[in-house]
Structure 1
C-alpha cells in the first residue's frame, strides 16, 4: 500500500513539475517589418472569419488556436490543433459578436503556456470569407501540366 501511495505521489509530482515548466509564449509586440498578432486586440474584423497571425515561436513544431466568447475559454466557438505555420484561416463562419483568441505552441518541451488573450469583434456586415482547409485547397490544384492558376474561361484574354 505504501509503495502504491509513493508511486502515485511521484506521478503527481512529475506531472505538476512538467506543467509548471511549460515553455513561455513570446508575446513581444511585432517589429516594424513583422505582421504581429492579428486580429489585433480590440479590433473590428472586416471579414468573417478573420485571418489569425502571431509571432513565430522559437522551437515550435505546431500551434494550437482557440477562439471563445469568454476570457476563461469556457465557451469555445472554434479551435484548431496541429497548425504548422504562424498563420491560420478558419474554414467556417464565426458568430458575429465580440470574441477572444489565444494561441500556444507545441515543441520539444511539450505545449507552451497560452499567449495573452486578445479580443476582436465581428459585425453582422463583415464580408463572409471562410477559407478551405489546406488539404482541400491543395486537392483542387489540377494534376495536369502546366499548372496555371486561372479559370479556363479566362484563357482567351491571355
Structure 2
C-alpha cells in the first residue's frame, strides 16, 4: 500500500487547511489526496500535538471530512490514514495543524441522519415542501395570479402540440459525422424536460385533475428514452445532464399523479442514468472529483446528482450515497 502524504499532482486539491493556517470557517474541511487502493479513511484531530486526546472518525468513505459541530477556538492537530478493501491499514499521515478563532464563520456540515430527517419521506421535496403548498397556492390566486395564468397558457399549447420527441441521432462531439447534432440534442432534451416540469408543477400548484394525466404522460415519455441512446452520458454528457436532474424534478412534483408502476419505471431509469454519471470521468465515484475538483464538467454534475438523490432518497438505495457525496463536495471543495 502506498503511504499517505503523496505530493499533490497538478489539478489535485491537496491537503487543506494549509498547514499552520488560521481558518475562516468553523469547522474547517479536512482534505487529503485520494489513493485508488483506499476503500475508506480514518481521520483524527486533537488539541494536543501528540493526539492523545484525539477525536477519531473511522472508515470514512470520502477523502474530505467536515465535522457536524463547530470546534472551540484554539490550535488543532490532525492526521489521516487509509484502509483497503482487504483490511490493510496504512501508517498515519504526518501531523498537520490549523487554528480556529472566534471570528471564524460557523458552518458545520449536517450529518446524513440529519439530512434524511429534514428531507423526509413524502413529496414534493425539490424547491417546495408539502408544508409550503397552502401558502404558495394562495399566492397563485392573488399576487401570482398572472404568473399562474401564463403557465396555464403555456400548458395549453403543450397539450395541443404533444411532447418533444427523443433525439434521433446518437451524436458525439468527438464524431465528425454526428457532431452537428451534439448541442442540438441537448437543447431538445432541455425542452422536453421543461415541458414535463411545467405540467407536473401546474398539477402541484392547482390540484386540477386536468393536469394530472398530462403530467403523468410527459414524465413517462421521458422515462421511456433510451439511456444507451442519444442521451447516454458517455456519448453526450451535455444531452444526458438535463435528464439527471430535470426528470427527477418532474417526478417529485408529479409523484401523486403517477401510478406505483410508473414510479418504479422512473426509479429504474434514473438509477441507470445516475450510475452512468457516478462512474463517469466527471465524478469518478465521488472521490475522483473531490480530489480533482477544478474540472468544470464535474462541477456541473455534482449538484444535479444531488437533486436526483433528494428526489429518490429512500426509494433508490444508492441515492443516499449520491447525496452524501454532494454534501461533502459542497462543504469541502466548492466553490473552486
TM-score by length of 1: 0.73
* Equivalent residue number for residue 28 of structure 2: 50
What secondary structure sits across from 1:85 in the alignment?
Answer: coil
- In structure 2, runs of 5+ residues without a counterpart are 148-336
What secondary structure sits across from 2:101 in the alignment?
Answer: strand
2:64 to 68, 80, 87: 87
* Equivalent residue number for residue 10 of structure 1: none
- Structure having greater relative contact order (Cα 8 Å, sep ≥ 6): 1
* Equivalent residue number for residue 103 of structure 1: 80
Query: Counterparts of 2:66 and 2:112 in 1: how far apart (Å)?
Result: 9
What secondary structure sits across from 1:110 in the alignment?
Answer: coil
State the 1:25 CA deviation.
2.7
Higher helix content, 1 or 2: 2
| Aligned length, in residue pairs | 135
State the 1:149 CA deviation.
4.2
How do 1:73-84 and structure 2 match up within 5 A?
A: 73-76=51-54, 78-84=55-61
- In structure 1, runs of 5+ residues without a counterpart are 1-22
State the 1:139 CA deviation.
3.2
* Equivalent residue number for residue 310 of structure 2: none
Query: Counterparts of 1:129 and 1:29 in 2: how far apart (Å)?
Result: 29
| 2:116 is aligned with 1:138 | yes
Bigger Rg, which one: 2
Query: Counterparts of 2:8 and 2:58 in 1: how far apart (Å)?
Result: 23
* Equivalent residue number for residue 27 of structure 1: 5
| 2:16 is aligned with 1:38 | yes
Query: Counterparts of 1:111 and 1:74 in 2: how far apart (Å)?
Result: 20
Residue 81 to residue 149, structure 1, CA distance change in 2 (3 Å): farther
Residue 139 to residue 100, structure 1, CA distance change in 2 (3 Å): same
How do 1:112-127 and structure 2 match up within 5 A?
A: 112-127=90-105
